[in-house]
Amino acid sequence: MHTLSLKELRDGIHSGQFSVMEATDAYLNRIGRFNPELNAYITVTAETAQAQAVAIDNRIRQGELSGAMAGVPYALKDLFCSQDVRTTCASNMLSNFIAPYDAHVAAKLKAAGGVLLGKNNMDEFAMGSSNETSAFGNVRNPWDTDKVPGGSSGGGAATIAARLAPMTLGTDTGGSIRQPASFCNITGIKPTYGRISRYGMIAFASSLDQCGPMAASAEDCAITLNVISGLDERDSTSVDRAVPDYTATLNDSIAGLRIGLPKEFFAEGLNPQVAEVIEKAVKEFEAKGAIIKEVTLPNSHLAVPVYYVVAPAECSSNLARFDGVRFGHRCSNPQDLKDLYERSRWEGFGAEVKRRIMIGTYALSSGYYDAYYLKAQKIRRLIQQDFVEAFNEVDVIMGPSCPTTAFGIGAKTDDPISMYLEDLYTIPVSLAGLPGMTFPVGFAADGLPVGIQLVGNYFEEARMLNIAHQYQQWTGWHKQLPTAFA
């Protein structure tokens, strides 16, 4: 059953081939068998899932529930609030937090009849590119358990790669859906900023964070996106714009499609093995009638330093609320108020979170705001303008998601700059607020998966899903499973 797509699962349930309970138990059994090795889940909601499965089975039999997600099991990154379920953000600061309400997307999936299997491991407060900063231990890549799965949605990526759920929701701030999708041979999409409500999503960097689905195929991502997209008046950044049916255009022809290749993405720093796989995939698109054209994003080399001013600045503000008084871990036996604040935050946060809070606080401090934060925002606008000009020439932009395949656990933990450069190709897209996605296109000579990044113009998620779906009709990379988890 675990090899079925989300759509096939839904069809099997509705035709009576198997029940919601049987589907739920099949995934819970796989989680019990493989999660101890992968550490992809922080919390497994087995009893709640089985109770939900019984109720949904009854509602489907009585004709009260139908639709694309009815009866389908799924997982959530552990930064989406889920009512009466522990929501930790992979941090000691929130290790015992039981959310009193559902995030917008969690409520949407619940209303659609989905069955929550549990909450996925992640980098602490979504800060990391390898899923090694979690207070609950690092996640292992199913393709090679000595390698990282990518971050910060690495628990979700490992979950899909090992088929411990057919779909999960991740978040992408600087590449946290696209980079782990590339490392784990799955499909993941970061929609346009504002397309999906961030209500109930514990914030890292508010002007960048965006929720998106991770699944085996573009079609499964499209089905999920139909459920969770749209205006939410509780989120002031949520966009009031009609939501198309993302599955309706999946089979449109891509003949004549203009694909732009940014020359800056194929320069020094890109691993030759990764470049070879990406270039082969581009030629396959060309053979199907797409028009390939070189474009330029001249300010993209500034994206990483800009990101590491803007994102830490916003995180230092967002995480100020976790002080042991209003929210989060409280130290024992504080001597006075100052001691309470200092020890609660010191004990609650991990090293990477502390590093980013300090960088952000410095960048926002009096006398340095103009020199760092304001200048970074001006360069951010230049990066956005580069994309606007590129989209005057082409329909979509294509390139690598990451400069390398998955690296070894611990290989970059002592070199933060090297770790930050893993998001070299994804960060410009996040700064511009554009939609981006990754889907599998093959394996490098080291035997590890490679994903290609596709970037669309604003609110053109349907076109991107169409392109990825067409590719997945003539290739089978997205269906391959790691041998130990087949």
Over 90: is that where the pLDDT of 413 sits?
A: no
Active site residue 479: no
Q: What angle do the packed helices 303-318 and 375-390 form, to 10 degrees?
A: 130
What would the DSSP string read from start to end of 310-374?
Answer: HHHHHHHHHGGGBSSSSBS---SS-SSHHHHHHHHHHHHS-HHHHHHHHHHHHHHSTTTTIIIII
At 274, list the tokens: 């990764």
Tens-digit pLDDT profile for residues 298-308: 999 999 999 99
Identify the pLDDT of residue 334.
96
> Residue 416: pLDDT above 90?
no
Number of domains in the chain: 1
> Cα 218 to the chain's mean position, in Å?
14
Over range 40-50, report the average pLDDT: 98
**Alpha-carbon gap, residue 108 to 200, rounded angstroms:** 12
Share of the chain above pLDDT 90, in %: 95
Residues 6+ apart with CB under 8 A from 242: none
CA distance 174 to 185: 19
> Is residue 414 scored above 90 in pLDDT?
no
Helix (H) or strand (E) run with residue 14 in it: helix 6-14
Residue 238's pLDDT is 97
Q: Is the pLDDT of residue 421 over 90?
A: no
Q: Calculate mean pLDDT across residues 322-331.
A: 95
Place 268 in a pLDDT band, splitting at 50, 70 and 90. confident
Q: Is the pLDDT of residue 420 over 90?
A: no
Percent of the chain at pLDDT > 70 equals 100
Q: Residue 292 — pLDDT band, cuts 50, 70, 90?
A: very high
Q: Which residue has the tokens 């999920």?
A: 224
pLDDT of residue 211: 98
Q: pLDDT for 193-232, tens place per residue?
A: 999 999 999 999 999 999 999 999 999 999 999 999 999 9
Residue from 205, 207, 177 nearest 191 by CA? 177
* Best CA proximity match to 201, nearest among 33, 355, 89, 37: 89
Report the distance separating Cα 336 and Cα 416, nearest Å.
Answer: 35
Give rounded-to-5 percent helix, strand, coil for the chain: 45, 15, 45
Q: Would you state the pLDDT for residue 422?
A: 85
Which single residue is written with the structure tokens 């909601």? Answer: 45
Q: What is the pLDDT of residue 79?
A: 98
DSSP bridge pairs for 443: 449
Its domain, for residue 178, covers: 1-485
Catalytic-role residue among 77, 147, 190, 412? 77
77 counts as catalytic: yes
What value does the CA radius of gyration of the chain take, rounded to a whole number of Å? Answer: 21
Q: Which of 5, 82, 134, 176 is catalytic?
A: 176
| CA 408 to centroid of chain Cα atoms | 21
pLDDT tens per residue, range 344-392: 999 999 999 999 999 999 999 988 999 999 999 999 999 999 999 999 9
CA dist 157 and 215 (Å) reads 8
First to last CA, the chain: 11
| Set 82, 91, 152, 182: catalytic member | 152
Residue 419 confidence (pLDDT) above 90: no
Close Cβ partners of 11 (under 8 Å, ≥ 6 residues apart): 17
pLDDT of residue 415: 83
Place of tokens 């009815």: 70
Are 373 and 363 within 8 A, CB to CB?
A: yes
Encoded amino acid at 99, one letter: A
CATH value at residue 80: 3.90.1300.10
Q: Are 164 and 433 in contact (CB under 8 A)?
A: no
pLDDT digits over 423-471, tens only?
Answer: 899 999 999 999 999 999 999 999 999 999 999 999 999 999 999 999 9
pLDDT on residue 231: 97
Closest to 439 (Cα-Cα) out of 203, 287, 254, 220: 220
Q: What is the pLDDT of residue 418?
A: 79
C-alpha distance from residue 80 to each of 53, 72, 102 (Å): 21, 18, 8
Q: Is the pLDDT reported for residue 59 higher than 90?
A: yes
Cβ–Cβ under 8 Å, residues 240 and 231: yes
Q: Is 395 helix (H, G, I), strand (E, B) or coil?
A: coil
Instruction: State CA 438 to chain mean position distance.
Output: 10
- pLDDT bracket for residue 131 (50, 70, 90): very high
User: Tokens at residue 48, please?
Assistant: 């709640």
Phi first, then psi: give them for residue 24, nearest 5 degrees.
-65, -45
